Amino acid sequence: MQSDAISDETAMNWLRATMAANDREYILWPPENTQFATKILLKARGRIPSIEDVISEIGEERAQNIFVAIIENRKFQNLSLGYRYPCHYCESTDDLKHHDFALMNVDKTNRKWGETAASIALSAALFPVLGGGMVRLPGRSFQGAAIHLRLVVCKACRKKNGNIFGAFFLDEKKAAKHPLWDHLIAAGYRKFLAHDKLPNEFKYQAGITL
């Protein structure tokens, strides 16, 4: 197949899945993502291609641009969900637990959000964190756009910030410890969503976001 016959979306999907499947040390993709990508490629192509194979298929120049976008996106996902990050309170790595929540930019007009426009606003706010580039919007709904986040808390900080019984329950004040909190607030993501209010795609995706 000629590289110019492959759409940009297909090219990005192929390269992203191949990068994830070949990340055997789980540097950027967690094990469940690597396994998911492996299943996709085996079903679609019967094998796990090398990154070089896919680059030759989609064209080297286009692959370079797509590669950068994929890496930036994955860094954003990992920062959002706390993958390979220490405690957000004290940077300890002792007995870490992840607590899901979301921040939403509410669209009061009920119009459908434009992904590109929302992504540009988000990218501008996250420039100091990620170094710029377009950030694909992780979640949308008719009410607005939501970002899935996880607060990472170690055993000592769960106890210190727990209730009188030592149980740690996430609320808006505690969630503000997330390193992206101020950046997302600046981008207009100001509505806190507790775990039971998360969009269904956040609840049931089991962390699978390539």
Local confidence pLDDT in tens for the 210 residues of the chain: 556 688 988 999 999 999 999 999 999 999 999 999 999 999 999 999 999 999 999 999 999 989 988 998 888 889 999 999 999 999 999 999 999 999 988 766 555 545 555 565 566 566 555 554 445 555 555 466 788 899 999 999 999 999 988 799 999 999 999 999 998 898 888 999 999 888 777 766 544 567
Instruction: Using CB atoms within 10 Å of the CB of residue 21, give its burial: 0 to 12 exposed, 13 to 18 middle, 19+ buried.
Output: buried
pLDDT at 178: 97
End-to-end CA gap in the chain: 24
Neighbours of 8 (CB within 10 A): 11
Q: What per-residue confidence (pLDDT) applies to 143?
A: 60
DSSP character at residue 136:
-
CA distances, 100 to each of 145, 147, 206 (Å): 16, 11, 12
